[in-house]
Structures are given as structure tokens and as C-alpha cells.
Amino acid sequence: MSASWPLFPFPGMALVAGGLLLPLVPRGLRGPVMLVLPVLGLLQLVALPAGTSLSLDVLGLTLEVVRADGLSLIFGYVFHLAAFLGIIFSLRIRDLGQQVAALVYAGSAIGAVFAGDLLTLFLYWELTAVSSVFLIWAAREEGAFRAGLRYLMVQILSGMLLLVGVVLHYQSTNSLAFGHLGLESPGGALIFLAFGIKCAFPLLHTWLPDAYPRATVTGAVFLSAFTTKLAVYALARGFAGTEFLIWVGALMAVLPVFYAVIEDDLRRVLSYSLIVQLGFMVVGVGVGTELALNGTAAHAFGHVLYKALLFMAIGAVLHQTGTARASELGGLYRSMPLTAWFCMVGAASISAVPLFSGFVSKAFITSATAQAGHHLAWTMLLFASAGALLYVGIKVPYLAFFGRDSGVRVAEAPRSMLVAMGLGAALSVVIGVRPQLLYGILPFPAGYNPYTPGHVLGQLQLLLFSALAFVILYRRGWYPRMVPSINLDFDWIWRRGLPRAWQFLARFAAPAWHRGRSASGTILRRALDLLQCHFGPGSRLARIWPTGSMVLWVVVLLALSLLVSYF
């Protein structure tokens, strides 16, 4: 154990403890106190050398409650940055419940990435689930409450699967160490599934676009940063090099693109695009080489910042106008020019425009995928990159801030929100322009240069020509119009499909059941009557028979059995 930890023994503890004690802080001081907490946590991490480990013996189990290495530290750094930006963004929102939930949520996610054993991971895993749901419920709407319940059920299911997997793993290996697990390890498949739910694997993803757009303006910023990136970290720690993940990630990168194009709610567009970016990271984990894992870590780092920036920009629009629907927005650059600029920086980053952060980190992953010989997966990632420009790079800033003038005139976003967006935008540009700053904190030595002429040229071609396709389609009126609507996703199965199947059964099977019951009741009654007739009081078999006649019948039966045995 290192003796140089200045403040709290556990990473993330400053935020969790600060969040729980926040109600005791005078209202006027809560903002400054909240701002200090991630700074203290970040200082703690800076003082925490890689290779540090802290173990505790609890109930006969040895738990490595803190394990700091290159992989956990980069996630720890960016989680602190995200918490800091989120807190600045939310300074205007004086809702104690949200403030406590956000701090505990951020702190538990940080604690989870430093967990060296599976049981500690499980505890933090559940704490992120329980604390984060309050950021959805804090919207105080019926729809948000229901979405929060669905979100909580899915997150708790993930936690339960993780717990069962951990128990099976411990029974077989007598170890709780959280290192490389692999699908074939005892309990590995269940742990993989638990991580997959939180990482929004295909068909397990619906909780994300269902819940995040229902969260509060500031809650969505926090939600976008922690849960899914914690899952990416867990996959990188436990399942790096699992080839199955390459195809899972490639599907994650491609399938949500189509939903993002037709979606009207811009925060839901960002939710689908979040899954696309997770797909890149999951592919990196699946490839599993040092370059690929560096790419996953770098992409997670950059993505946390620019995705938070995009959620902040659209959140600011929602805060000022009361809507985040593209069909009700347009022309807002006149009212919110700075927010529009920051949104465009986020859009350029997610579209991997050279000199923005997404370009650097995506290049790591696509190069590693190609080097490993996964040509089809590489092509799918290229498709997702082209799509990213269409559904976020152009669509989100264009439909919100430019395009058709909706006539909405509002004030620019509050200063605290602008400061947070400005910092997020600056960090996205700095990473894009000086990627060497990021290389220093990557888990493995990075000797990769994304700024080769061939790569820059290829990326510019991809982006410019997909933009050309957008303009042509828009001019022709073939780009899907934004109309107030929702799009059914796979969660339709349990939100409508299964209840309808049950109603169908109730409607058609119930009468048959009742008819069956009445028919069987009749048969039963007749059988009882028959028994009553022959064995009931006063019936023939219930009479008292003389002993002689009993002996006579026994003799008759014996004679019959003799005859049968002879023949």
C-alpha cells in the first residue's frame, strides 16, 4: 500500500463521501464544494503511482479494493474530468437530490475501475445502478419515472448476473481476482453477459435510448459518461482478445446508425450514436492487441469528453427552449451562437474530422483492426464513420441551430453551462491537435501516428463524400423528414409484444380453459357419484357381508387363478 495518498484511501471516495455529506453543507456553499471534490480526486490519482495495490481481509476473503495500473488510471482520469465538467454544467440546477446522485454515481464509477477483485467491482457496479436512476427520476415526469424503473430493472439484472458469475467463478477457482477471465472460465459467460448489458450490446441496448433522453438536462451529461464506459473498461480488463467481441462491436457500430438518422429527439440521436461509438471500443477490446487496447482507452477518453459536450449542448437547448426535438427546432444559432459553436466542435470530434479528438482515437482502433486481418470488421467501422457524419456531424447541429428557422428566440445558455461546454470543446481540440498529451497516459507505450498523409486524405475523402451524399439527398427531399414520432426498438418485445401475447392468451385460451374445467368437473362429478353408488353408505359393497360368503368368494378367486395358471 502506498503511503502517499493525501486525502482518502480509495479513489472515488471523495466524490461518494462528498455526495452523501452534501445535504449538511449550506445551500450557498454546495456548488464550490462540489467543484472541489473532483479536483481533490484527480490530485489523489496523480499521486497514485501505477502498480499500487491495497488489499483488505473481509470475512475470510482477501479483497483487492484498490488496484491502480495503466488501464484503470486512464479511466479514472477521464471520469474525474467528466465529473468536473458535469458539475460546472449543473451549477445552475439547485436540486439536492440530483447533486447527491451525480456525485455518488461518479464516485462509484471511479471506485469500480480501481477494483482489483470481482466482489468490490460488484458492489460499485450496483452503486452506479442505484445512484444513477435518480438522475432519470429527477425529471419528475410520469414517462421518466417509468423509463427509470425499466432502466433500474435492467441494471439490477446486470448486477445479479455478475454476482452469480462471481460466485461460480469463486467456487471453481477459489479466487476473486479481477484479471483476464475469458468466456471459457467458470462463470465467465455470466460475467460477460452482465458487462454486455451495461455496454449496450445489440438487443440488450434498449435501456440506453429509452432512459437517457428521459433524464434531466444535467443528468444525461453524467449518464453519458460513466455507465457504459465502466462496462468497456470491465470488458477490456476481463475479456480482451475475445474474437466474438469484434463482431458484437461491429454490429453495435452499424445497426444504431439507421435509428439515429430517423430519430426526432436529438438526445435520443445522441444515445444511439453513443452505442455506435461503444461499438468501436468493443471492437478494440475484441482485437485485443496493445494498439487496439490503447485505441479503446483513447477512444473512451475522447468520447467521454465530446459526448458529454454534445449532451451539454443539446441539454442547453432543452433548458432554454423546453424541447430537444428536431421537428420543433431550427435557426437557434441566432439566439445561442456559442452553444452552436461548441456543438459543432463536438460534432466534428465524433465525426473524426482531422484535428479533433475522435480522429486520433478512431484511427488507433481501425488500424489495429486492419492489422489483425479483420477486413470485414474494418469495413463495417468505415461505414459507421461515414454514418456518424450524417446522423450527428451534420444532423444534430444543423437541425438544432441552422436550417429551417423555427422562430424560437431564447437567451444564450447560462454562463456556467457555456464554461463547461467551452472546456469540453477545448479538450476535444487539444487531444486532436496534440495527441501526444494523451499518449502519456495510455495503458501501453504508444508509437502510433494517426497524422500520416494517407490516413488524413482517406478520412477527408470519406467525410466530404458522405457530406455530398447528404446535401444531394436533402436537396432532393430524400433525407427523412423530422416528424414528431417515436421509433419502435427491440424493447417493443417486452413493452408491447409480451403483454399483447398474454392478452391474446387471456382472450382465446381462457374460454377454452373454462370449458375444459366445466367438462372435467362433470366427469369428476359422475365418477364421484359412481363411487358413492358402490362404496357409499348403504351401497352394495359397503354392506356387512357374512364370513361364509367372504370365504366362498375367496375360494372362487383361487379356483379361477388355478385355472388361469394351468392354461
Partner 1 sequence: MRDEAEMVFGKSTKVRWVFWGLLAACLMILAADFFQEKRGYVPWEGWKGFQSGFGFLAGLVVVLLAHGLRRLVGRGRDYYER
- CB within 8 Å of 4: residues ≥ 6 apart: 47, 48, 49
Strands 53-58 and 61-67: antiparallel
Using the contact rule CB under 8 A, the part of the chain among 275-283, 374-382, 428-436, 549-557 near partner 1 is 374-382
Give the long-range contacts of residues 262-265, CB within 8 A, separation 24 or more.
262/480, 262/487, 263/487, 264/325, 264/326, 264/327, 264/482, 264/483, 264/484, 264/485, 264/486, 265/213, 265/324, 265/325, 265/326
- Quick one: which of 98, 185, 242, 367 contacts partner 1 (CB under 8 A)? 367
Amino acid at position 48, single letter: L
- Determine if 525 is a binding residue for partner 1 (CB under 8 A): no
DSSP state of 325: B
CB atoms within 10 A of CB 430: 14
When the beta carbons of 419 and 462 are compared against partner 1, the nearer one is 462
Site string for partner 1, 400-439 (x = CB under 8 A): ---xx-----------------------------------
* Residue 455 CB, nearest approach to partner 1 (Å): 9
- Determine if 17 is a binding residue for partner 1 (CB under 8 A): no
- 509 HSE (CA, 13 A, CB side): 6
When the beta carbons of 194 and 388 are compared against partner 1, the nearer one is 388
- Quick one: which of 1, 20, 457, 552 contacts partner 1 (CB under 8 A)? 457
Amino acid at position 439, single letter: Y
* Residue 263 CB, nearest approach to partner 1 (Å): 10
Distance, CA of 91 to CA of 416 (rounded, Å): 6
Distance, CA of 146 to CA of 211 (rounded, Å): 9
Using the contact rule CB under 8 A, the part of the chain among 170-178, 415-423, 481-489, 521-529 near partner 1 is 481-489
Phi and psi, residue 397, nearest 5°: -65, -35
Q: Where are the beta strands (DSSP E) in 137-185?
A: none
Distance, CA of 198 to CA of 147 (rounded, Å): 16
Using the contact rule CB under 8 A, the part of the chain among 75-83, 100-108, 221-229, 363-371 near partner 1 is 363-371
Q: Where are the beta strands (DSSP E) in 122-183?
A: none
CB atoms within 10 A of CB 17: 16
- Quick one: which of 2, 53, 55, 379 contacts partner 1 (CB under 8 A)? 379
Using the contact rule CB under 8 A, the part of the chain among 23-31, 228-236, 313-321, 467-475 near partner 1 is 467-475
- Determine if 500 is a binding residue for partner 1 (CB under 8 A): no
Site string for partner 1, 265-304 (x = CB under 8 A): ----------------------------------------
CB-neighbour burial class of residue 542 (10 A; exposed 0-12, middle 13-18, buried 19+): exposed
Going 48 to 49 to 51 to 56, the CA torsion angle's sign is negative
Distance, CA of 254 to CA of 328 (rounded, Å): 28
- Determine if 451 is a binding residue for partner 1 (CB under 8 A): no
Number of residues that bind partner 1 (CB under 8 A): 56
- Quick one: which of 409, 415, 434, 496 contacts partner 1 (CB under 8 A)? 496
245 and 292 Cβ atoms separated by less than 8 Å: no
- Determine if 359 is a binding residue for partner 1 (CB under 8 A): no
DSSP state of 390: I
Using the contact rule CB under 8 A, the part of the chain among 30-38, 233-241, 429-437, 477-485 near partner 1 is 477-485
Using the contact rule CB under 8 A, the part of the chain among 31-39, 284-292, 449-457, 535-543 near partner 1 is 449-457
Using the contact rule CB under 8 A, the part of the chain among 26-34, 153-161, 242-250, 365-373 near partner 1 is 365-373
* Residue 245 CB, nearest approach to partner 1 (Å): 20
- CB within 8 Å of 54: residues ≥ 6 apart: 1, 9, 10, 64, 65, 66, 67
396 and 266 Cβ atoms separated by less than 8 Å: yes
37 and 12 Cβ atoms separated by less than 8 Å: no
SS3 65: strand
Closest CA to 444 of 239, 236, 246: 236
* Residue 478 CB, nearest approach to partner 1 (Å): 6
When the beta carbons of 480 and 511 are compared against partner 1, the nearer one is 480
Using the contact rule CB under 8 A, the part of the chain among 78-86, 156-164, 196-204, 252-260 near partner 1 is 252-260
- Determine if 342 is a binding residue for partner 1 (CB under 8 A): no
- Quick one: which of 133, 365, 386, 446 contacts partner 1 (CB under 8 A)? 386
When the beta carbons of 486 and 562 are compared against partner 1, the nearer one is 486
Find the radius of gyration of the CA atoms of the chain: 31
- Determine if 501 is a binding residue for partner 1 (CB under 8 A): no
- Determine if 479 is a binding residue for partner 1 (CB under 8 A): yes
Site string for partner 1, 137-156 (x = CB under 8 A): ------x-------------
When the beta carbons of 83 and 340 are compared against partner 1, the nearer one is 340
Using the contact rule CB under 8 A, the part of the chain among 6-14, 18-26, 256-264, 308-316 near partner 1 is 256-264
* Residue 338 CB, nearest approach to partner 1 (Å): 21
- Quick one: which of 136, 154, 324, 390 contacts partner 1 (CB under 8 A)? 390
* Residue 141 CB, nearest approach to partner 1 (Å): 12
Distance, CA of 443 to CA of 501 (rounded, Å): 50
* Residue 251 CB, nearest approach to partner 1 (Å): 15
SS3 388: helix
Contact residues: partner 1, CB under 8 A: 143, 257-259, 261-262, 367, 370-371, 373, 375, 378-379, 382-383, 386-387, 390-391, 403-404, 453-454, 457-481, 484-489, 495-496
